[in-house]
Each structure stands twice: as structure tokens, then as C-alpha cells.
A and B are shown apart, each in its own frame.
Chain A
């Protein structure tokens, strides 16, 4: 009898610590007050598109960024579960958190794992304060899913590296301070994954050119980032020379299970439920039931994975599943909305209509960012022993 799969999917049971419960109410109180003041209105995909430095700094000031990092780096030494609670409250509110999102979720933890003491001292406190923002320089025009084919290259120079190449689809590069660039530092004939390194580049360095690329809602979100003989000092190599591939794989695996993978359209879901409650129809009520059922399951998956990470496990396969299942769920929300409410009905409900439109226009990105769902399914299959 083969219980391989069941074992793989066995995840710990959950009890949120009391501190997380307390923290939740503080965060919610803050968000309610900010909304009342008109600081923000809830938007779909705001974790990705709502770039608001003042808002990020306000969160940093309250101690809600870098929550699980050591205090000596400006963090707050709290549990992964407390971070989870803050994260989901921010997402449920549709708050503008994009400025710090990558630093808090990915770049900061990257420094904690692979960075030098000096790098941690230099970057982490500013990240935890919500004042230093990092962009991700991974994708290239000719290297999307197949990252091993990327050609941005750094060669040795006196006291550092000279970087040349072009990154693309770089979210918020025009508003961030630094970018982590995955590049080739040597060429290997036989191992496609060898010879990569991660360099930290100051986006104001001479030779960095950032060019906007408009996305479907016409906003400036993406950029093309060109590096023309950019000098990167030795102390801005992240981790080991040549270990870039494994470093970035570890980073991406953890990035995939957060609640942002199924909550991007929560503001629309909230409008939808309110609209059905105001004028219930059998179809509307059933649709609400179906969506809520999936939501409950996804939240549980994501929370369980956070619990496993807190316990020191590395649940990369369930994490990939959260992203695959979660993004498919969130993309159903606008589809269900249009099935339940006609265009005329939507037009009579301006906030429903607005959230619907932004969800539709921003939706396609969900299944690409962080590795496409097809690529993730490949990772899951491998994890299943295939």
C-alpha cells in the first residue's frame, strides 16, 4: 500500500498563538481608521499594484514589517504566523502594500539566509521600516520560464563586477531603490544551472536605464531595466558566487504559498457578497456558497503551510499547489460576478463595477508571476515522485 502521497500532504494542525490574535485586532483597527480617513480605498491586486511609500512607512513604524526578523536587524522577532495574520488582514482590506511587499516577503528573508552581516545591517532595518524597496531582476526578453537561458552577465573587475544585460517585466523598478539581479558569472558547458549569481544593484547607479512598459489597465507597473557596464562592488554579491540558482529556487518556493495567491480579488468578492445579500437570487446565493467554500479551503492550506514553515519544515510542494489552486480560484471571482450580475446591474453598483473591471484587467498576470502555473505543475509532479 502506497501512502507516499498522503504523507507528503500531511501538514501540521493549527492554533494561532494568542499574540497573533491580539496583533490582528491592532492591525484591523489601524486599517479601519485609515479607510475612514480616506487614506485608501480597497482595490483588487493592491498587494501588487498599490505602491504607496507613505503607507508602507506607516506599517513599518507600527512594527508590522520584517515581523519575524531578528530585532538586531530592525525586525520584531515574532512568529511566521503573526506575519501571516498581518498579511491576510492587509489583503482583506485591499490596502496599498506593493511598495514593501517584495522586500518583506522575499528580499529580506534572502538576506537573512544568504547575506553577509554587513549586508543585513545595511538593508534590513530600512526594509523593516518600510523605507527601502527592492525589485526582482529575474526575467529577460529571451528567458521567462526557462531561466537557465538568461544572458545578463557580470564579469570580474577590480573590487567588484561589471554587469551587462537587460531584465524585463520588472515590477516597480522605477520606484524601488535596489534590484536583485540574477545573472551569469561564469559559463558551464554541462550544468545548465551552474554559474549564476545574485547581485544587488543600486537603481541609481550609472549605466542603469529603466524604461516603462504599460500593462492592460494602462498603469505603469512593469519596466525594462538595462544594465550598461554597471559597476557592482564586491560587497553587493548576495550569497555565494555560482550559487544563484539554488538561492533563487529557495526564495521562490516560499513565495508561493502566501495568502496573496488567492486574495488578490478579495475586494471584489466582498462587493459580490454584499450585492447578493442586498438582492438575493438562487443563482447568486449558490455562487456565494461555492466561492466561500473554496476560500475556506485555500486559507486553511496557506495557514497550514505557514505553520509548517514556522516548525522548520520546507513544504515546497504544497506551496506550489496553493499558488496553482489559489490563482485559479481568484480568477473565478470576476467570472462568477459577471454570471450573477448583468452589465446593467453592475453599472448600477459603481464599486462592484470598478472592482470587477480591475479584476478582469489585472487577472491574467496572476498565473504568470512567481512562475507560471504550468511550470508549477511540473514542480509538483516531480515532488510526487514522477
Chain B
């Protein structure tokens, strides 16, 4: 990690740490923390890897991902990952200045009236839709992705947002477009809906790695403190092995995310393979880490008073979002076998062309 990245992580930890105790997080579940968003936004952390000319921070994807990982670590109750890595990225790709408020991306490829003057339709399970100041709508067109920006306040009479949550109490709303006037569309050539899905999978994986690191940290502290049979749980071999297995899962998932970041940056590997791979890896690691994390905590971990559940409930929700392991393995597997014969090593693993 570069010194700059360390400073960035320190700053993010300071902000998020204030909001990550059980009380604060639970108070924000079922809704979201506008205060947290404001603090993040004032520090320029909501569009880190967007060009400065468009109001972003001009940083790298690696920087943005490390912030998202920390948001996952602290169970941040704000659309950090979704707005910065998907919303702002899409808006910037289409050349829009990045608005200050949270952005929620909506895929509208299949909606009625998409070619006409107004469009209508229902988009389910939109992360943090109620928090959004703007929707970034996008649709697949021949040759590229059409992207438009919708100001929520200005178009309020054409929008209906029905609240829902995932099992961690994070907003997952249903958005209804009611004869919404067409936004100004820009078409980004070469970009596909599949690319958005891949990036969403990567963003989700980064959140998950953060949450897994929290579970591991909590478990390590707990087994050192909790005494049974006259000694800390940490002295029992089976418990020690559980912790080592968890660490292996966390490191491996983190490596998968890092590999995807490197691939997206064009510095080795194939991004269309490495991004779904990151989510597959994060999903399967999350299964092990949540199971063992709860196992070593016993009953206390099963309570809402203790903070373990903030991370484990998120992990269970997140592993089902932006592609389950099974869905993504089919996607990845199909892409692998399409690369042609004798390509596993050179093209799939190394990303050579």
C-alpha cells in the first residue's frame, strides 16, 4: 500500500468509526444516514475515481475500492459503494458533472416507452433508491450504453419509491417510473449492461471483504477474552484452526478483489473474468466466515446487542446481491469456454490477448 493510500484509509476509518457502533448502525437500519453521507461527501470520498474535471477526486479505482472495503468493515449506512462505484462511474462515462447527493443506478433497457417521449415501468430491489438525489438511468442500445441523469426532486411527480430492505435493513426499494420524461441520453460506445453488472459484482465484493475482516477481528478479540475450562478459547486447537481458516478465506477473497482491480486497470488479467471471480470468491468465503464467526462466538453472537450480526447479516444479504456464486460461476464459466482451446493459462489466467 502506498503512503497516500494509508492516509486515505486512516481518514475514512476516522469518519466511519464514529458511526459503526451497534447503536448507530441499528438506528440507521431500515433507513440511511444522511449525516454520514454528508461527511463523506465533504471529504470528497463519494466519487474518488472520477476525473476532477467532472467534479470527482481524480484518484484510482484501487483507492475507491479501499474506501468501499472500509465502508463494508464499518457497516456504513449510506450508499457508498453503489453511488461512488456504479452511479458516479456511469454518470462520468456519459460526461455528466457528478451531483453532490447520492446516485442510484437504474437499468431501464426493458421498459415500456424507452424509445418514446416518456417511459414507465417498475424496477425492483434498487439499493438506497430513497436516498438518491439523482437516478442514473441506463439502457443497452446497439453499439453501446445509453445513459441519462434524472433529478429526483424535479421529476418527483413521475416517480414512486416503495420502501423495502434486505435482511440487514439496508434500503432495497422498488422504483416506479410514471410517464417519466426522457432524460437527455448520451451513448457510451463499447459499454454494455454486462460491464455494469461486472463492476457491481466487484463493488459488492469489496464491501464483503471489509465485512469479513470485521468478523475476523471480532472473533479474534472474542476468543482471547472468553474463558472456558479455565482458559481462553484461543488456547483450544479446534478454535485456533477455525480462526486460521477464516483468515485464509479473508485473504483469498481480498486477493480476488485486488486481482479484479488490477485487471480493470489494464495491468494484468482479464476484467470480464476477474470481476465475477471476485464475487464468486467473496460469496463462498462469506459462507465460511459467517459460519465460523458465529460458531466461535456462541450465544452472544446470536444477539442483536452484540455487533457481530451487523457484519454477518450484511454478508448474507450481499452474497445474494449482484450475482450469487452459482449465477456468476455460470457467467464466468461460459466466458472461459468461449475463449477457445488452449487458452486457459494464457488468456484466462494471465489475460493475454
Q: B84-92, B109-117, B120-128, B215-223: which lies at the A interface?
A: B215-223
Is B80's beta carbon under 8 Å from chain A? no
From B254, B277, B346, A296 is in contact (CB under 8 Å) with: B277
CB distance from B73 to the nearest CB of A (A): 8
Q: A10-B1, A15-B267, A325-B252 are in contact. Are A292 and B216 (CB under 8 A)?
A: no
CB distance from A165 to the nearest CB of B (A): 30
| Contact between chains at B247 and A277 (CB < 8 Å) | no
In the assembled complex, the Cα of A14 lies from the Cα of B241 at a distance in Å of: 30
From B259, B268, B349, A16 is in contact (CB under 8 Å) with: B268
| Contact between chains at A287 and B220 (CB < 8 Å) | no
In the complex, chain A residues whose CB is within 8 Å of the CB of B332 = 288-289, 292-293
In the assembled complex, the Cα of A336 lies from the Cα of B32 at a distance in Å of: 43
| Contact between chains at A292 and B234 (CB < 8 Å) | no
B interface secondary structure, majority: helix
In the assembled complex, the Cα of A290 lies from the Cα of B324 at a distance in Å of: 12
Is B94's beta carbon under 8 Å from chain A? no
Q: A289-B331, A301-B255 are in contact. Are A296 and B349 (CB under 8 A)?
A: yes
Considering the complex, give the chain B residue whose CB is closest to the CB of A294.
B281
Is A1's beta carbon under 8 Å from chain B? yes
Q: A136-144, A171-179, A360-368, A375-383: which lies at the B interface?
A: A375-383
In the complex, chain A residues whose CB is within 8 Å of the CB of B220 = 2, 4-5, 384-386
Is B62's beta carbon under 8 Å from chain A? yes
In the complex, chain A residues whose CB is within 8 Å of the CB of B253 = 297
Q: A296-B274, A297-B256 are in contact. Are A9 and B250 (CB under 8 A)?
A: yes
In the complex, chain B residues whose CB is within 8 Å of the CB of A321 = 244, 247-248, 251-252
Assign chain A's interface to a size class: 35 or more
Is B202's beta carbon under 8 Å from chain A? no
In the assembled complex, the Cα of A334 lies from the Cα of B288 at a distance in Å of: 22
A interface secondary structure, majority: helix
From A277, A290, A380, A384, B341 is in contact (CB under 8 Å) with: A277
Assign chain B's interface to a size class: 35 or more
| Contact between chains at B13 and A297 (CB < 8 Å) | no
In the assembled complex, the Cα of A12 lies from the Cα of B3 at a distance in Å of: 12
B268-288: CB near A (< 8 Å → 1, else 0) gives 110001101110110010000
| Contact between chains at B241 and A274 (CB < 8 Å) | no
| Contact between chains at B326 and A286 (CB < 8 Å) | yes
In the complex, chain A residues whose CB is within 8 Å of the CB of B284 = 290
Within 8 A of A (CB), among B1-23: 1-2, 13, 17, 20
In the complex, chain A residues whose CB is within 8 Å of the CB of B53 = none
Is B348's beta carbon under 8 Å from chain A? yes
Considering the complex, give the chain A residue whose CB is closest to the CB of B73.
A6
Q: A1-B13, A282-B330, A386-B224 are in contact. Are A12 and B243 (CB under 8 A)?
A: no
| Contact between chains at B217 and A2 (CB < 8 Å) | yes
| Contact between chains at A289 and B333 (CB < 8 Å) | yes
Is A295's beta carbon under 8 Å from chain B? yes
Is A104's beta carbon under 8 Å from chain B? no
Is A194's beta carbon under 8 Å from chain B? no
Is B227's beta carbon under 8 Å from chain A? no
Within 8 A of A (CB), among B318-353: 325-326, 328-334, 336-337, 340-342, 344-346, 348-349
Is A74's beta carbon under 8 Å from chain B? no
From B258, B269, B281, A13 is in contact (CB under 8 Å) with: B258
B229-256: CB near A (< 8 Å → 1, else 0) gives 0000010010011011101111111111
Is B165's beta carbon under 8 Å from chain A? no
Is A59's beta carbon under 8 Å from chain B? no
In the complex, chain A residues whose CB is within 8 Å of the CB of B258 = 13, 300, 304
Considering the complex, give the chain B residue whose CB is closest to the CB of A320.
B244
Is A280's beta carbon under 8 Å from chain B? yes
In the assembled complex, the Cα of A288 lies from the Cα of B19 at a distance in Å of: 41
From A10, A266, A292, A325, B333 is in contact (CB under 8 Å) with: A292
Q: A294-B281, A296-B256, A296-B349 are in contact. Are A14 and B268 (CB under 8 A)?
A: yes
| Contact between chains at A293 and B243 (CB < 8 Å) | no
From B217, B224, B262, B337, A277 is in contact (CB under 8 Å) with: B337
| Contact between chains at A286 and B330 (CB < 8 Å) | yes
| Contact between chains at B251 and A9 (CB < 8 Å) | yes
In the assembled complex, the Cα of A285 lies from the Cα of B329 at a distance in Å of: 8
Is A318's beta carbon under 8 Å from chain B? yes
Q: A13-B1, A296-B269, A304-B258 are in contact. Are A324 and B333 (CB under 8 A)?
A: no
Is A127's beta carbon under 8 Å from chain B? no
In the complex, chain A residues whose CB is within 8 Å of the CB of B336 = 273, 288-289, 292
In the complex, chain B residues whose CB is within 8 Å of the CB of A16 = 268
| Contact between chains at B256 and A5 (CB < 8 Å) | no
| Contact between chains at A384 and B334 (CB < 8 Å) | no
Among A285, A294, A374, find the residue whose CB has the most chain B CB atoms closer than 10 A.
A285
Is B49's beta carbon under 8 Å from chain A? no
Q: A5-B220, A273-B344, A374-B241 are in contact. Are A301 and B251 (CB under 8 A)?
A: yes
In the complex, chain A residues whose CB is within 8 Å of the CB of B330 = 282, 285-286, 289
Is B173's beta carbon under 8 Å from chain A? no
| Contact between chains at B337 and A285 (CB < 8 Å) | yes
**A–B pairs, 30, beta carbons within 8 Å:** A1-B20, A3-B13, A4-B220, A10-B1, A273-B336, A276-B333, A280-B334, A288-B336, A290-B280, A290-B329, A292-B273, A292-B277, A292-B336, A292-B344, A292-B349, A296-B256, A296-B274, A296-B277, A296-B349, A299-B259, A301-B251, A301-B252, A321-B244, A321-B251, A324-B244, A324-B245, A325-B248, A384-B243, A386-B220, A386-B243
Additional 10 contacts, C-beta under 8 A, given A304-B258, A318-B251: A1-B17, A3-B13, A5-B216, A6-B73, A280-B337, A285-B334, A288-B337, A301-B251, A321-B251, A384-B243
Question: Sorted from nearest, which 10 A-B pairs have the closest CB atoms?
Answer: A289-B329, A289-B333, A289-B332, A381-B240, A285-B333, A297-B256, A293-B277, A377-B244, A293-B280, A380-B244
